[in-house]
Amino acid sequence: MIYDVLIVGGGASGLTAACALALRGRRVVLLEKQARVGRKLLSTGNGRCNLTHLNAGADDYHGSRQAARAALKAWPPKRVMAFFDGLGVPCVADGAGRVYPMSRQAASVLDALRLRCDEAGVETRTGFDVAALTCQNGAFGAAARDGGAVRARCALVCTGGLAAPKLGACGAGYGLLEGFGHRITPRFPAIAALKTPPKPVRGLKGIRAEGEVALLVDGAAARTERGEVLFSDTGVSGIAAMQLARLANEALRAKRRCDVRLNFAPDTDARDMLRRRAGQLPQRAAEDFLNGIVPRRLGQALAGAAGIAPGAAAGELTRAQLDSLAEALTAWTLPVTGTQDFDQAQVTAGGADLRDFDIRAMRSLRAPGLFAAGEVLDVDGDCGGFNLQWAFASAMMAAEGIDEALGK
């Protein structure tokens, strides 16, 4: 049997495209190497599935912003929301514009896609690990490592990137596309924790604090984010810090110096606050002086960074010492030595070069009938629903392109 389209990868993009094509009456076979589809989708948004963002724009993306812009024009967030509403998943947005299923459960999104695929007649083959993708006599052939084979008139590669291998990522799609002459741009982790020398953060593992995080490249602030800062035994995590990982990796790959500057009182005159505080709490030991402003262990680390002895009484601190403590509170600066690797990263930066595609339909310019969508392509977004928006929108564009290519 020759299918209309074979889709390699049963993640967010693959399921979406399969659903869209089957609803158009196309014979679709979805090939997934794992035992079940959509494992990574279940983990998105801390299990709540932040599936898009109302205010998504091209500036929220990296890599080929031209492709991101085209996808946003063809499938803007509200159109993506309408698609899921049609699958039985009404969506709601929070005050920041992040969009979730009403259930706040990623399983709701996965189940809706999976069930509609089944209802529309998609043939899903799990445990199908594609070793090779070829095209002969106008038909694509996918060969599995265990000897299985599938043929179709069109092929769509939706294998994802390298991030989160425990959820199935392996980067196999890059090799499949390279086999047709596609170029692959350098890949590195995006949305990942920042690594710092271990000594300054020793003892802070698990500590959380709200603040402002800036990435300094060669001493100049390159990007600043606000949000929760989470310390680990290897550095700084939390969404605010993780948003800086892509830029940090780019700079470090270029042999530039990177630092992270932490401000735990961004809207406060810290010098004035600490001088008044010293007058109010003159007997308070320096190691406890910042308690109530930041968590106790963090306050101790900041006092140490300011060079203040733990047992010193607040009332005995000089103005210069208080100013040094204010500097540590608002501009604690640590060298960035790298980021977490793909094992912990949420997204892959880099991928299949979009110059080799007609971005209006995610159609290969190297092989007629070949398409790609999602993270395998050189587009990655910031945290906040932007990556799933790209996954869904690029998949829908590819589905429309495939439907057009197949004709009536």
Which H/E stretch holds residue 107?
A: helix 106-120
Q: Using CA atoms, how far apart are residues 33 and 65, in angstroms rounded to an integer?
A: 30
Q: Which helix (H) or strand (E) holds 228?
A: strand 220-231
Last residue of a domain, one of 292, 319, 339: 339
Give the model confidence (pLDDT) of 179-205 as tens digits.
999 999 999 999 999 999 999 998 999
Q: How many CA atoms lie within 13 A of 128 on its CB side?
A: 22
Strands (E), 76-160: 91-93, 98-101, 123-126, 130-136, 139-144, 149-157
pLDDT band at 45 (very low <50, low <70, confident <90, very high): confident
pLDDT of residue 23: 96
Tell me which DSSP letter residue 267 carries: T
> Which candidate, 44, 42, 37, 51, places its Cα nearest to that of 9?
37
Of 333, 286, 282, 277, nearest to 308 (Cα)? Answer: 286
Tell me, yes or no, if the pTM score tops 0.85.
yes
Average pLDDT of every residue of the chain = 96
Is residue 235 located within the same domain as residue 92?
no
Which of 280, 305, 339 terminates a domain? The answer is 339
Domain extent for 282: 194-339
Q: Is 119 in the same domain as 11? A: yes
Residues 315 and 378 in one domain: no
pLDDT at position 189, please?
97
pLDDT of 310 reads 87
Rounded (10°) angle between helices 386-406 and 77-86: 70
Domain boundary among 290, 315, 339: 339
Q: What is the pLDDT of residues 131-153, one digit of tens each?
A: 999 999 989 999 999 999 999 99
What is the per-residue pLDDT across 342-362, written as a single tens digit (0 to 9) for each? Answer: 999 999 999 999 999 999 999
Do residue 249 and residue 364 come from a single domain? no
**153/229 same-domain check:** no
Are residues 106 and 51 located together in one domain of the fold? yes
* Statement: residue 39 has pLDDT above 90: yes
**pLDDT at position 35 over 70:** yes
pLDDT of 10 above 70: yes
Residues 74 and 183 grouped into a single domain: yes
Asked whether the predicted pLDDT for residue 118 surpasses 80, the reply is yes
Residue 311's pLDDT band (cuts 50, 70, 90): confident
Q: What are phi and psi of 282, to 5 degrees?
A: -65, -25
CB-based burial label for 136 (10 Å; 0-12, 13-18, 19+): exposed
Q: What is the pLDDT of residues 201-256, one digit of tens each?
A: 989 999 999 999 999 999 999 999 999 999 998 999 999 999 999 999 999 999 99
CATH number of the CATH domain containing 146: 3.50.50.60
Label residue 111 by pLDDT band (50, 70, 90). very high
Does residue 389 share a domain with residue 334? no
Question: Comparing C-alpha atoms, which of 140, 133, 141, 122 is closest to residue 10?
Answer: 122
Q: Give the count of domains, the chain.
A: 2
Query: At 46, is the pLDDT very low, low, confident or very high (cuts 50, 70, 90)?
Result: confident
Beta partners for residue 141, in sequence order = 134, 151
Query: Over pLDDT 70: what percentage of the chain?
Result: 100
Same-domain pairing of 150 and 252: no
Q: What is the pLDDT of residues 357-385, one digit of tens each?
A: 999 999 999 999 999 999 999 999 999 99
Share of the chain above pLDDT 90, in %: 96
User: Does 376 lie in the same domain as 283?
Assistant: no
Pair 302, 393 in one domain: no
For residues 96-111, give the mean pLDDT. 96
Both 33 and 130 in a single domain? yes
211 near 304, Cβ under 8 Å? no
Residue 408 is predicted with a pLDDT of 67
- Per-residue model confidence (pLDDT) at position 240: 95
Q: How many CB atoms lie within 10 A of CB 247?
A: 17
Q: What is the DSSP letter of 278?
A: H
Do residues 336 and 258 make contact, with C-beta atoms less than 8 angstroms apart? yes
- Per DSSP, 383 falls in state T
